[in-house]
Structure 1
Amino acid sequence: MNLSASLNIFRLIRDPALCLPHSSISTFNHLPVPLSKGFGNQDGPKNIRAVVLDKDNCFAVPHKNTIHEPYSDKFQQLREAYPGNRLLVVSNSAGTGDDPDGKEADLLEKNTGVKVLRHSTKKPGCRAEIFNHFVNSKDTGVTSPEQIAIVGDRLFTDVMMANLMGSWSVWVKHGVVEEKSFFMRLETRFFNFLIRRGYSAPKPRSILK
C-alpha cells in the first residue's frame, strides 16, 4: 500500500491543480531531449539540469527491471544528455521498502546504467530525498527544484510530486502496457474535468516541505 499517496491525495481538495502536468506526451519515445524543449519559451528558456524517471509502465514493463526494448534508443539519448548523477530513477517498487535487500534496485542499475534512488517513503512523499540527491551530487549543478524535471505515467504520484517539489513534470499518457485499474481511470477523468474548467499546472517554485 502507498500510504504517502493516500495521505497526499487530500491536498487535491485544497489545490486540485497539483496533479496537472506541465507537459504531456503519448509514450516514453515522444519525450523531447533535452527536456527543456517540451516546456515552451514562455517566461524564458527552462534550465533543466537533472531528470527523474519513473520506472513501471514509463520506460519498463511493470515489475520488470529492464528497459522496454522499443525505448532503448530514447533511454540512451537521455543518458547522453543527462550524464552521471543528472539522471535518476525513482520507482515505487525498486529501491523502496518493497525491495528491502535492494536486489531489484541493484539489478535495475545494472541493466540501465542509471542510479536508482533508495527511499523510505514512496512517491509523492520522497521529494526531499530526491532534491538532496541532486544537490549533494556535485556533477548535477542543481541548486533549485525548478532545475529538475520529473517524468512518469501517474498523475497522483509522479506529477503531483513534481508540483509539490516545485519542479517540472512530464506526464506519459500511454504506458508500456494499457492500464485499466480504477485509479488510472480516476486520474484520467479528474484530469479531463480540471482541463475543461480551465485549471493549469502551477508554475515551478521552491515549495519543498
Structure 2
Amino acid sequence: MNVSGTFNVLRLFTSPTLCLPHHTISTFDQLPVPLSNAFPPKHGEKKSDIRAVILDKDNCFAVPYKNHVYEPYKSKFDELRKAYPGSRLLIVSNSAGTDSDKGHEEAKLVESNTGVQVLRHSTKKPGCHGEVMDYLRKSPDADITSASQVAVVGDRLFTDVMMANMMGAHGIWVKEGVVPDHGLLSRFEKGLCSFLLRRGYSAPDPKSEFE
C-alpha cells in the first residue's frame, strides 16, 4: 500500500496544480534529449538548465513488473544515459528500491540490466522527494544547486508528476506508457488533468527548495 500517495493526494484539494505536468509526451521514445529542450524559456527568462533526470520504471521505460528496458526504447535510454552520466540519471520506483523490495534484489537486477542507479528509499512517491534531493546533493558529479535543475519523468500524475512539483522540479508526463492503462485511478488522473487545463490552470513554476 502506498501510504504516501494516499496522504499526499489530499493536497490536491487545496493545491490541484500539483498534479499538472510541465511537459507531456505520449511514450518514452519521444523524450527530448537534452531535456532542457522540453522547457523553452519564457519571455525574459533563461533557458532551463536540467542537470539531472529522475526516471520512473514501470510503464515509463519498462513494461510493468519487468526489470529491463523495453526493447523499442533502448536507443532512447542509451541516449539519455550518455547525456546524463553517473548520478545525473537516477531511477526512482515505487517497487524496486523500496522497503517492500526484500534485500533490494529487484533494485540490484534493474541496475544490472540498465546500468543506472536505483534509489533506495523508505517512503514511496510522491513523498520521497526529500530522499531524492538528499541523493543528488551528496553526488558531486550531479552538481545540483536547485531543484529546478532536475526533471522527473514518469507515467503517473499522482506520484511522479506530483513528486516533481512538491520538490520544485520539472515534471514530464509519459501519458500513454508502454502498455495502455485503463484502470480507475489512471482514468481519474487523466480526467482531472484535462479538467484543470481546460479551466486555465498550469503546473507550478519550478524552484529551489532551498530558496
TM bucket normalised to smaller: over 0.9
| Structure-2-length-normalised TM-score | 0.97
In structure 2, stretches of 5+ residues that fail to align are none
Tell me the CA shift for residue 44 of structure 1. 1.8
| Partner SS state of residue 169, structure 1 | strand
SS in 2 for 1:94: coil
Structure 1 match to 2:4: 4
What is the rounded CA distance, in whole Å, between the counterparts of 1:172 and 1:39 in structure 2? Answer: 15
Question: How far off its partner does 1:52 sit?
Answer: 0.2
**Alignment RMSD (CA, Å):** 0.8
* Counterpart residue identity of residue 12, structure 1: L
C-alpha deviation, 1:144, in angstroms: 1.1
Matched, 1:203 2:174: no
Aligned match of 1:37 = 37
The CA deviation at 1:100 is 2.2
Quick one: which amino acid aligns to residue 37 of structure 1?
N
1: distance between equivalents of 2:173 and 2:205?
15
Question: How many residue pairs were aligned?
Answer: 208
Q: Distance in 1 between matches of 2:26 and 2:134?
A: 30
Q: Distance in 1 between matches of 2:152 and 2:57?
A: 12
The aligned amino acid for 1:164 is M
SS in 1 for 2:141: coil
Amino acid at match of 2:203: A
SS at structure 2 position matched to 1:102: helix
Point out 4+ residue stretches in structure 1 off by more than 3 angstroms. Answer: none
Distance in 1 separating the partners of 2:13 and 2:207: 20
Of 161, 174, 182, the match for 2:184? 182
Cα separation, 1, equivalents of 2:97 and 2:209: 25
- For 1:1-209, what aligned pairs fall within 5 Å after superposition? 1-42=1-42, 43-207=45-209
Offset at residue 98 of structure 1 (A): 1.8
Amino-acid identity (%): 58
Gaps of 5+ in 1: none
The offset of 1:207, in angstroms, is 3.7
Normalising by structure 1, what TM-score? 0.98
* Secondary structure of 2:41 counterpart: coil
Measured in 2, the distance between the counterparts of 1:37 and 1:205 equals 18
In structure 1, C-alpha distance between the alignment counterparts of 2:40 and 2:203, rounded to whole Å? 14
| Cα distance, 1:206 vs structure 2 | 2.6
